[in-house]
Amino acid sequence: MTVFNYDSEIITRFPLVAGAVILGSGLHNGPTPADVLDLYRMEQKTVSEKIGSTPLSELPTLAGWRAAFRSFGVDPTGYRSAAEALLRRLTKKGDIPSINTLVDLCNLISIRYGLPVAAIDRKRINGTITVRFARGDENFVNLNQAEADHPAAGEVIFTDEKDVVIARRWCWRQSEESAAREETTDVLITIEAQNEGGRELVKSAAADLRELLKTHLGGDYTQTFLP
């Protein structure tokens, strides 16, 4: 059964796109325990030291996402990809706050590889998720908000089979409904790249993340690579 796909127009317009999809079931999520927090903080320190004074715009993975955002009419300095937002927080503030075990592990991999990693709670998603261009009449409820708004026509969105928007501006922000929380037990995780060599990075990131998930959350996992 297909659970995540790219609309054909997306593949045509973004030939460098590479994605991994990890399906997890039976996870035991919750507040992040001390051993995972230690791993997360160590990764943050390692990544921060590796980046040093290099501008984030010069990192190939982030530059690829900036180019993708511009191509569908979004200013990537006004709306940053999820990976760049995390790394910007890390380099400006010195740390990234803990959310829960699942999200922290996904964010750990995101900063390690400079790739956006989205954890979507499957229980509130209707059927297959499709990455496509927005019409502009779809509904989106931003994270930690209650009121719905609409994506701009032509921006890239994730939608389910009921046209509910799961993510806006491709990998800028997830919806309130889709966010992975402490009680999440079934998850769909995406890891995506938009740069040369991105497919191999995505494969490595997926392997690392699956190992961390199995070790710290239990559960069963399958993965696929797209397109």
Domains of the chain, with CATH numbers?
Answer: 4-226 (3.50.40.10)
pLDDT band at residue 5 using 50, 70 and 90 as cut-offs: very high
pTM above 0.75, yes or no: yes
Identify the sign of the CA torsion 146, 147, 152, 157: positive
Q: Would you state the pLDDT for residue 1?
A: 66
**CA-based nearest residue to 111, from 60, 48, 195, 201:** 48
Please answer whether residues 169 and 77 qualify as being in contact, where contact means their C-beta atoms are separated by less than 8 angstroms: no
Q: Would you state the pLDDT for residue 222?
A: 97
Q: Dihedral through CA 50, CA 67, CA 197, CA 42, nearest 10? A: 30
> For residues 5 and 122, what is the distance between their CA atoms, to the nearest angstrom?
15
Please answer whether residues 17 and 192 qualify as being in contact, where contact means their C-beta atoms are separated by less than 8 angstroms: yes
- Collapsing DSSP states into helix, strand and coil, what is residue 129? strand
pLDDT band at residue 189 using 50, 70 and 90 as cut-offs: very high
Q: What is the spatial order of strands in the sheet that 117-121 belongs to?
A: 117-121, 187-193, 18-25, 220-226
Q: Which tokens belong to 169?
A: 């501006």
pLDDT above 90 covers a percentage of the chain that reads: 94
Q: Would you state the pLDDT for residue 147?
A: 83
Give me the mean pLDDT over the 100-126 stretch.
Answer: 97
pLDDT tens figures, 127-179: 999 999 999 999 999 887 778 899 999 999 999 999 999 999 999 999 999 99
pLDDT tens figures, 51-105: 999 999 999 999 999 999 999 999 999 999 999 999 999 999 999 999 999 999 9
Please answer whether residues 16 and 193 qualify as being in contact, where contact means their C-beta atoms are separated by less than 8 angstroms: yes
